[in-house]
Structure 1
């Protein structure tokens, strides 16, 4: 039998494969693959008393939980009360191999030697924060990468702390919570970290992974000193968190709260203290407004008085004209 020859041109041979690729990459398939984002509060079934209060709407502010001293045992509480929380994975591990060895990675890989072979485990460290006084870190370990990441993020939400901020630099004295109010020290293993207040605009003069945590906490300017084996990033991060916790444990006077512009946790608009110049400007504006209101009232009163006088004059004129007419009529009679 004679073989059939291909009558297709060079551009028609891959037509079907091209159509399949276009179907795979079509926007309709993208819409199908996208999962609907369901709010956490709809699928969450709380177990603890604190979680039930948050679910029912009795607690709506994270400040109330920290003031009561209750421990957060469900990560969904943080998701409900702080919906704008940001997450970031820290570079605690390093790549292995001839070409990529030494580069930092988010996974710290370890192996256990057994008779069956090598058992690999992955360790990750996540940091969460709202950039306004709340931050937390957590670690997660698993045989696979995705579960390790999820574990670390959940634990970071459970380890959330409140950060004390202020302006303790003698070079700045702006009374805004852009730095730390005073020096604080933290330690983990051989690593020791000292945080010191810096003036506005200086930036985060600290190790890169520590800078990520401070940025999530809402601190913009800081100086630091480090001692010990700082290449162990887990100990470095833990020492930094210890320093942030020690900031809140130091006792302060009521005078220093105003002087250093100290804010505990979330910064509210009512907590911003106005300067004497701003108070004087507000008083002047109120005085000017009062004078303008009085002048307007006086102008209205004078206008009303003039209108009343004109009306009275017209009434008198009309009455006089009528009396004259009546008198003339009687005289004619």
Structure 2
């Protein structure tokens, strides 16, 4: 069943899994996935287009939003070939090296999104807690450096992962649990000690998701303290209203990211369908809903959409 490389004991291919036992309905299951991909790509491209066209939106908050849109597009494009290939054409085989590449980019864009959400929290912190120095602190060169730092950190955290997977021998099944490749899923199939992989995975997750979420929380604690010291009730609401879109984006990202490992660890007897659906929620929710949230809650993006379509 499994084709192995005789020198490194790697399977020639991995087999992707959609919804086991529902193969006859894959063409129907593909329909919502196509809708989700179209929504994610159209929404994020629309945000990028609006900010690019309107010079008034070339401000830190909207530039960080563009970075978030790029990250969401990257996540969607990373999984699109195998997910649609599985459900539309029943192409379930993926080459070992191709699986490594996909694994890297899925985790890369996930780590990148976490870093961008932290940068956006810093933007809101400066705007509310130190508004007089906002323009001096968040200059365009500094924003570029923050973006490059997020990319560098994500790359550095994930650089060892393909090599850690490639060093493992595989002598078990080559069937993955999802229609895309993840580090934990590939590691599970190895027939060797995976302690080093587990340690590196935990370290990367703590340094990325753990520290980023901690600093985001601290930023909002300081924002809340500043807002509560404002005398006017209307000014408080105005200040907090500028944070709602970002808070929604943080929840849309971190809730599924934390829910998936918690369910795997503490609800092992959960129906297989629950595990499968939660893994797709983790992949699809941020890219699909982020542009919708920002389009609805940010007046300038909303107006930009109306101007773009009225002009068309």
Normalising to structure 2: TM-score of the pair?
Answer: 0.22
Query: More helix per residue: 1 or 2?
Result: 2
Query: More strand per residue: 1 or 2?
Result: 1
Q: Which structure would you say has the larger RCO, counting Cα contacts within 8 Å and 6 or more residues apart?
A: 2
Greater CA radius of gyration, 1 or 2? 1
